[in-house]
Structure 1
Amino acid sequence: MSLIGQIWLKLFIVIVLAFVGGVAVHTDSMRDTLQAQLRMKNADNAGAMALVLSQQKGDQALMDLALSAQFDTGYYRRIRLVGSDGAVLFAREAQPRPLDAPRWFERLLPIESPAGVAQVSDGWRAIGRVEVESHDSYAHDELWHAVQRAGSAMLVLGLLAALAGALIVGRIRRPLERAVEQARSLERGEYVTVDEPGTPELRRLVRAMNSMVARLKQVFEGQARQVETLRRQANCDALTGLSNRAHFLGQLDAMLHREDGSAEGGLVLLRILELAELNRSIGHASADRLIETVAQALQAYTARVEGCFVGRLNGSDFAMCLPAGGVAEETARAVSAALQAVLPAFGRQAAVAAGAVEAARGMPLAELMAQADMALARAEAQGPFAVATAGEPGQALARMGEGGWRRRLHEALGAGRVALVEYPVRGKGGQLVHLECPLRVQIEPEGPQEPAARWLPLAARARLTAALDERALSLALGAIAMDGLPRAINLAIGSLSDSGFAARLRAQLMQAPRAARQVWLEVPEAAAADHFELVRELGRQLRPTGARLGLEHAGERLGRIERLFELGLDYVKLDGSITRDVGRDTHRAGFAAGLVTMLHSLSVQVIAEGVAAQADADALWQCGVDAQTGPWVSAQPGSAG
């Protein structure tokens, strides 16, 4: 039994005992009083009647008349006149009158009514004695009414005591509930402090809890700083802070194969010409400043264009991935022109060349890099600040037109041309954790099911992501009801901006409470970083339904989300750019292990995405991940969705 329950039980027992004890003591005292009054009344009445009878000079008729008149008042059970020789001279008895008090009350609390006795004489001559016994029914009725009044008064006092107890228990309950919720928040990985109550004992408890929360928060912040340091060591170039070659290629490969990535994009390779000669002619320090200048020029694009990322592939080569198709050549020329204006300050030999190539979803990474290298080689052959391209710009979306895509998406939703595909997420023992279920849309009635990379950008522009995500959840709930397998649904960032989206999701889940507990909902890491309050509100709305909330494509910015512990996440999926090549790169494995440790300290389950090789899978298990997904996992026996 809970502490509050025990307090209520004790309070109830005390009130009941006080009620019963008070009524019992009052009843016993009242009965004794009534018995004493009856005894005195009988004695007084007997004395008064003896005086009256003594005045009759022994006339039997007059004495009978006086006794009969007294008996007829109705208050007496028995009146007798016994002569001095023992003969009964007068006797009258009456049956007890009906009681207001119940019979069980009379039997439970009997009242004695001893007869009053007085001597009757005529001068010095003894006539006999008179015996008077009153009815006890009047006393029982009075006792019954007194018990009722006492019980009512004690009941009112008990209710007042219970009300006062409720107020006192409420004052105890509130800080206790806050302390319990604080402990539950710690279990969920949230660091919440509460106000100290006025009760000294509870104040000490809450103060100790707040102190522990503060220390744990400091530990988490220290872990976050350590993870950020590991990230820089594993993924960043020491001089420029840009992604190093391994990390950039991992990001690029993840983008090319991601379900909800861009359908088309671009890649720009940039090379500082004759960097070794520049090192000798202008000095190592000046060459480093030149490299930093190039890096800053490229980073300016990442600040303006969401989804754009930059890396340094080696000493002289840089790369920039663009999230949209058809702009690679234009971007390369803009970067080259900007650098042409500033690099001559480092010397006449300071120059760059750029190669641009268009990319499409599903394109092999090696093929894309080979095309980009060929374009860069042609640009380098043309001379300083030259730009060359490879491949045709991808304009599939543009050719169809935004209006056409919006119309087709509406038609596909209305006709139900949407479906979920399934990829297994498995634990270390091979058990199924859940099925990852991205949404596919059949844009054309007879066409293929298109991945989110094809339609998501324009769906976001047309404000259709919320409707698509709600349909995906509806499909997942239906599938769970059929086979009972847990499923994960991806939610778009654009859906979170819809003020009623979270409430509608909650209503959907509440309508299917059993299936809701098998639903895993995930949003991109960028949503938690850039729209923190929206993600936190989503978690608050979904928590009562039993559905789980997590982040996908995470790792790059986790250590920089200051209040990550307040989101109440259930799981995090590490992006393929983080998990790629961890089996061969100890720095990347160290970073992944640091992320896992930090997330486990928040009681968050960690899942690795994009696992493509057994060496990476083994290394990730050693890093402590709880589950994995990706091509290698799907290829294992028994992994078909």
Structure 2
Amino acid sequence: MSMYRQLWLAISLSTLLALAGSLFASIMSSRAYLNEQLRMKNNDNATVLALSLSQKNIDATELELIVASLFDNGHYQSIKVTDPKGQLLVEKTSPEEHTSVPDWFTKLLPISSQPGTAQISSGWKQVGSISIVSQTGTAYQTLWNSTREMILALALSGLLASYLGTLVIRRLKKPLRDLIDQARAMVERRFITVEESRVPELRQLSVAMNSTTTLLKAMFAEEAERLDQLRRQANTDTVCGLYNRANFLSQLQITVEEENAPPGSLVMIRINGLIEANRTLGRVKTDTLLRNLGQILNVYQNDLPDGFAARLNGTDFALLSRNSAIENVVASLLEQITSLFSSSDANLKAFIGYGHFEYGISPSILLSQVDAAVASAEATDLSSVHKAAPLNIEHAPKSLEEWSKLIQRALDQNWVKLDYFPVINHQKKLIHQESALRLMFGGEWFPAGRFLPIAERLGLSAKLDVISVKLALDAIESQASEHQISVNISAKSIQDPEFREQIKALLSIKPQASKSLWLEIPEIGAFSNLDTFRNFQKTIDSYGCKLGLEHFGKNLEQINLLNTLDIDFVKFDVSFVRNIEAIPANFDFLKGAVAILHRMNLQVYVEGLARKEEFDALASLDLEGMTGPYIGKLLSH
């Protein structure tokens, strides 16, 4: 039995016992009072009648008439008059009085009418005695009526007491339930704070629990921040604070291979005259100059979508982003760099080249195109910006209007399907399958990277996500896939209330299939729209599908936010996995992060494994699963 029920039962029993005791005491007191009243009435009436008869010299006939008159006018059970020798002179008795009082009540609470006696005298001579016994029916009726009234009054009092007790329990129940939920969340590695109770004892407990939660959250955040700092230090240039060449090349490979991402731009900056500056200014001043340049690029890195700035070698720098409208950015960048150089005593020049890219371009081709643009700027021998020649990518995007017609036609004709990619553990057991949407244009199936950026600009991303979820549920229900399926949902889609209602409708139609569905939201989209993410989580909460974050790890310093999100898993971004066997700092970072996330009761997966060496390096980590190009090759052999 729960504590609340025990407390309510204790209050109820205490109230019942108190009321029962009060009722018993009141009834017995009323019964004793009525007995005493009957006794006094009998005595008083006997005394009055005896005095009345003592003042008269009456014969037997007159005596009988007086007694009969008195008997008829009063509620008497009997009146007896005897002579001094005890001989009966007159006796009047009445039959048993009938009332509405139940027999069980009269038997349970008998009322005794004690006879009242008095002497009849003539002067100093005793001439007889009189005995009077009153009827008890009226007394029983009075006791019965008062008992019923007391029971009703005490019952109402009991109900009121129970109601007040319930209010007290409810007042205690909410803060206790909050504390229980907080303790359960801590067991599940979720750290939430609760409102402090107004009950002094519970307030002390809630303050202690909140302090513990805050301390644990701080410990996890500090550990995550320490790991992230160690990783950054190992992957950055010590002078200017930007990422190093190896990290940049990995990030470039990942960026151009990411299917569900918009196009972007690559900017390369070559600084001419650094060797001479180092000789004339000295190493310290030159390093300060490079550090200031790194700060300029770091600002652009933070401002641009998916910005990534790196130092490729002594004189070359790069800036990678998902912003394809980069012209104004490079013009501003050139202005800031030349302003920085003009404030120094060195004769430095900046040659900038840039080019656009999209899904499917080879990193080496992109680098060579942009490097050619830098060379063109360098040939002018003036600080300047040059754009790379158009990249010849197969199936290059058409105009926005043409893309709109193609996408709409594919949707109208139902030229849609899902491709699947396995997620396995190190024992090669299939955990679930990641899905990717495909649309058919002109008889050829196009990957999502070709049309999703355009679809987002056309406002069709939510519609495409609904289609993906429907196809996944159909596949699960038809047992076309023996395992669970995950679907990527864009952060923009979950902001749409209509989209959330459509997903809810799909899940409610196929509740059994919903239990095998995994939904993934990009980390950056979830963290930047926490309220929207929570609303989406509430929408799908009752249908049993799993919810998690993909492309995870780039904002590990915000790990405390995971405590406020009811998610099941995370998938680390491919940038933490690529060439991990050759980058110890990334391995140590991932190992520590996995340990923290497991303590938070989250499943951990990694994305984008491309090589056997990466697969082998991750074997020592306690991961739930991994996916990527290498996994498909591994299972096909």
Deviating more after overlay: 144-153 vs 67-76: 67-76
C-alpha distance in structure 2 between counterparts of 1:13 and 1:482, whole Å: 58
Deviating more after overlay: 79-88 vs 626-635: 79-88
Paired residues, what number?
A: 629
Quickly say closer, same or farther: Cα 1:75–1:548, change in 2 above 3 A. Answer: farther
Give the CA deviation at 1:12. 1.9
Match among 557, 560, 570 for residue 559 of structure 1:
557
C-alpha distance in structure 2 between counterparts of 1:30 and 1:479, whole Å: 81
Give the CA deviation at 1:554. 1.6
Give the CA deviation at 1:232. 0.6
Give the CA deviation at 1:215. 2.1
1:523 corresponds to: 521
1:608 corresponds to: 606
1:491 corresponds to: 489
Match among 451, 455, 472 for residue 455 of structure 1:
451
Quickly say closer, same or farther: Cα 1:25–1:432, change in 2 above 3 A. Answer: farther
C-alpha distance in structure 2 between counterparts of 1:427 and 1:61, whole Å: 122
C-alpha distance in structure 2 between counterparts of 1:526 and 1:482, whole Å: 34
Determine if the alignment matches structure 1 residue 94 to structure 2 residue 95. yes
The superposition leaves residues 496-529 of structure 1 with CA deviations (integer Å, 9 ceiling, x where unpaired) of 4436655665676577766656554332122245
1:150 corresponds to: 150
Deviating more after overlay: 119-128 vs 483-492: 119-128
C-alpha distance in structure 2 between counterparts of 1:158 and 1:324, whole Å: 73
Instruction: Give, as a single letter, the amino acid of the residue that structure 2 aligns with 1:95.
Output: E
SS across alignment from 2:570: strand
C-alpha distance in structure 1 between counterparts of 2:616 and 2:46, whole Å: 111
The superposition leaves residues 527-568 of structure 1 with CA deviations (integer Å, 9 ceiling, x where unpaired) of 245444544554566556665443211212222577554445
The superposition leaves residues 563-600 of structure 1 with CA deviations (integer Å, 9 ceiling, x where unpaired) of 55444544321001112222332111012123224434
C-alpha distance in structure 2 between counterparts of 1:569 and 1:235, whole Å: 30
1:468 corresponds to: 464
C-alpha distance in structure 1 between counterparts of 2:38 and 2:534, whole Å: 79
2:205 corresponds to: 205
2:106 corresponds to: 106
SS across alignment from 2:582: coil
C-alpha distance in structure 1 between counterparts of 2:13 and 2:184, whole Å: 32
Quickly say closer, same or farther: Cα 1:113–1:631, change in 2 above 3 A. Answer: farther
Determine if the alignment matches structure 1 residue 369 to structure 2 residue 364. yes
Deviating more after overlay: 84-93 vs 518-527: 84-93
C-alpha distance in structure 2 between counterparts of 1:54 and 1:184, whole Å: 92
1:219 corresponds to: 219
Give the CA deviation at 1:310. 3.6
1:239 corresponds to: 239
Instruction: Give, as a single letter, the amino acid of the residue that structure 1 aligns with 2:463.
Output: A
- For 1:67-82, what aligned pairs fall within 5 Å after superposition? 67-73=67-73, 75-79=75-79
Determine if the alignment matches structure 1 residue 250 to structure 2 residue 247. no
Quickly say closer, same or farther: Cα 1:138–1:452, change in 2 above 3 A. Answer: farther
SS across alignment from 1:112: coil
SS across alignment from 1:625: coil
2:305 corresponds to: 306
Equivalent pair of 1:46/1:131 in contact (CA under 8 Å): yes
Equivalent pair of 1:227/1:559 in contact (CA under 8 Å): no
Give the CA deviation at 1:87. 6.2
SS across alignment from 1:206: helix
The RMSD of aligned alpha carbons is 4.6
Equivalent pair of 1:232/1:241 in contact (CA under 8 Å): no
Quickly say closer, same or farther: Cα 1:381–1:124, change in 2 above 3 A. Answer: closer
Instruction: Give, as a single letter, the amino acid of the residue that structure 2 aligns with 1:442.
Output: L
C-alpha distance in structure 2 between counterparts of 1:447 and 1:429, whole Å: 39
SS across alignment from 1:20: helix
Equivalent pair of 2:548/2:568 in contact (CA under 8 Å): yes
Equivalent pair of 1:466/1:494 in contact (CA under 8 Å): yes
C-alpha distance in structure 1 between counterparts of 2:586 and 2:121, whole Å: 126
Quickly say closer, same or farther: Cα 1:31–1:407, change in 2 above 3 A. Answer: farther
Give the CA deviation at 1:122. 7.4
Determine if the alignment matches structure 1 residue 442 to structure 2 residue 439. yes
**Identity of counterpart residues, as a percentage?**
32
- For 1:214-363, what aligned pairs fall within 5 Å after superposition? 214-262=214-262, 284-285=283-284, 288=287, 302=301, 305-321=304-320, 323=322, 361-362=359-360
SS across alignment from 1:522: strand
1:33 corresponds to: 33
The gaps in structure 1 that reach 5 residues or longer are none
- For 1:373-392, what aligned pairs fall within 5 Å after superposition? 373=368, 376=371, 384=379, 392=391
C-alpha distance in structure 2 between counterparts of 1:244 and 1:411, whole Å: 45
Instruction: Give, as a single letter, the amino acid of the residue that structure 1 aligns with 2:581.
Output: G
The gaps in structure 2 that reach 5 residues or longer are none
Equivalent pair of 2:60/2:89 in contact (CA under 8 Å): no
Give the CA deviation at 1:299. 5.3
Quickly say closer, same or farther: Cα 1:159–1:338, change in 2 above 3 A. Answer: closer
C-alpha distance in structure 2 between counterparts of 1:117 and 1:330, whole Å: 125
Instruction: Give, as a single letter, the amino acid of the residue that structure 2 aligns with 1:137.
Output: G
Give the CA deviation at 1:34. 1.6
TM-score (norm 2): 0.80
Give the CA deviation at 1:477. 5.0
The superposition leaves residues 144-175 of structure 1 with CA deviations (integer Å, 9 ceiling, x where unpaired) of 22122222332343344345444544543444
C-alpha distance in structure 2 between counterparts of 1:617 and 1:21, whole Å: 79
Deviating more after overlay: 157-166 vs 586-595: 157-166
- For 1:161-176, what aligned pairs fall within 5 Å after superposition? 161-176=161-176
Match among 584, 587, 601 for residue 585 of structure 2:
587
SS across alignment from 1:12: helix
Quickly say closer, same or farther: Cα 1:350–1:635, change in 2 above 3 A. Answer: same
The superposition leaves residues 27-49 of structure 1 with CA deviations (integer Å, 9 ceiling, x where unpaired) of 12112212222233334444455
Quickly say closer, same or farther: Cα 1:405–1:286, change in 2 above 3 A. Answer: same
Quickly say closer, same or farther: Cα 1:319–1:31, change in 2 above 3 A. Answer: same
Quickly say closer, same or farther: Cα 1:63–1:298, change in 2 above 3 A. Answer: same
Quickly say closer, same or farther: Cα 1:18–1:316, change in 2 above 3 A. Answer: same
